[in-house]
Amino acid sequence: MGIKKFKYNAKTTSFKPIKNQRIRNFRNLAAFLIVTAFFGIISGFIFSNKVNSPEENSLAAELKEMKIQYELLNKKVKQSQEVLGQIENRDNNIYRSYFELDPISEDVRKAGFGGVNRYSKFTDWKYGDLVSDVAKNIDILNKQMVIQSKSLDEIVISAKEKDKMLRHLPAIQPVANKDLTRLASGYGMRMHPILKISKMHAGTDFAAHIGTPIYATGDGKVTLAGREGGYGNVVKIKHGYGYETLYAHMSKIKTRSGQNVKRGDIIGYVGNTGLSTGPHLHYEIHKDGQPIDPVSYFYQDVSPDEFNVLLDKSQQMSVSLD
């Protein structure tokens, strides 16, 4: 056992034992270390929540860049929608109109997506609204493109059919302008030169020299090539789409019944057969079984001014050649 030391207290006139200094120092050190450790833990916790690790900083930077890229992507998608909108407008007002197709309504082109919310999986994401908006716009754009693609397919089919129809229309003069001596008589009521009665003249008479070539005015199939009453030597062509043409008073026929002909093919030659008072071609166009004025269909051979002159001449004739 160690020796105890005492200290005299003059106030109390007594001796008190002196405590060991090392024990006091140890206790003070222990208390200091405990307090320091406590504050170190608290500071570390606070610091760890205030300052991110390098990995967390990298992820945050990537997330920020991703947000920027999504915003740019969304902007580009909307720009694409605007361009597609212009194409849709031309599609409805020009292409589909020209080919006589019904326009596609906005409700069909930009219909929403019903049923289950397919974008709900983005709800809990930090930028879920942005991602959902981009995904939705891309889906709408894809649907618009599918509809537009189908519309263009429909237009291609109609264009091919339109081209076929245009080739079959009787759209040229059956006798070339260079071979004409005159336009002898037009469509309408005329005095018949032989019967001497006012009679409906259901076609147009082209005066030309005997042997002048006569051309098919549109693609079609010959339904008659032979002699028929007052028409003399006559050719009839069925063009489809309700159109049929007749070429009468030929001197010679250069086709046969059942033959397919193209516009511009020579089908015969001008003559004076049948009830006729001079060499000419009597030409008729029938639509759905009814005769119509052929002058209205010469648009591929004449200019607007020439057409007006031709129309005036056809109306001035009071006597036909057949």
Are 221 and 276 found together in one domain? yes
Are 265 and 184 found together in one domain? yes
Are 187 and 77 found together in one domain? no
Name the residue with higher pLDDT: 200 or 309.
200
Are 138 and 68 found together in one domain? yes
Helix axes 128-168, 54-90, angle to 10 degrees: 20
Round to whole Å and give the CA distance between 236 and 255.
10
Which residue in this structure is represented by tokens 């089908």? 267
Are 107 and 29 found together in one domain? no
Are 111 and 208 found together in one domain? no
pTM: 0.53
55 belongs to a structural domain: no
43 belongs to a structural domain: yes
297 belongs to a structural domain: yes
Q: Which domain-ending residue is among 150, 168, 186? A: 168
Backbone angles phi, psi at 239, to 5 degrees: -100, -10
199 belongs to a structural domain: yes
103 belongs to a structural domain: yes
Q: What is the pLDDT of residues 56-105, one digit of tens each?
A: 666 666 667 677 777 777 787 788 878 777 888 888 787 787 777 888 88
Are 186 and 308 found together in one domain? yes
Distance of CA 106 to the CA centre of its chain: 13
Are 99 and 214 found together in one domain? no
- Is a pLDDT exceeding 60 seen at residue 26? yes
Backbone angles phi, psi at 190, to 5 degrees: -140, 160
Structural domain including 152 reads 63-168
Are 137 and 223 found together in one domain? no
Are 213 and 267 found together in one domain? yes
Least reliable range by pLDDT among 26-30, 59-63, 304-308: 304-308
Are 182 and 306 found together in one domain? yes
CATH number at residue 286: 2.70.70.10
Residue 184, burial from CB neighbour count under 10 angstroms (0-12, 13-18, 19+): buried
Residue 285, burial from CB neighbour count under 10 angstroms (0-12, 13-18, 19+): buried
Contacts of 217 by beta carbon, 8 Å cutoff, 6+ apart: 170, 171, 172, 173, 174, 245, 263, 283, 285, 297
Tell me the C-alpha to C-alpha distance, in Å, between residue 293 and each of 47, 120, 142: 97, 67, 50
CA dihedral 36, 42, 47, 53 (to 10 degrees): 100
Round to whole Å and give the CA distance between 222 and 229.
18
Q: Which domain-ending residue is among 141, 168, 195? A: 168
- Is a pLDDT exceeding 50 seen at residue 170? yes
- Token pair, residue 213, equals 């070539």
Exposure string over 291-304, b if 16+ CB within 10 A, otherwise e: bbbbbebbeebbee
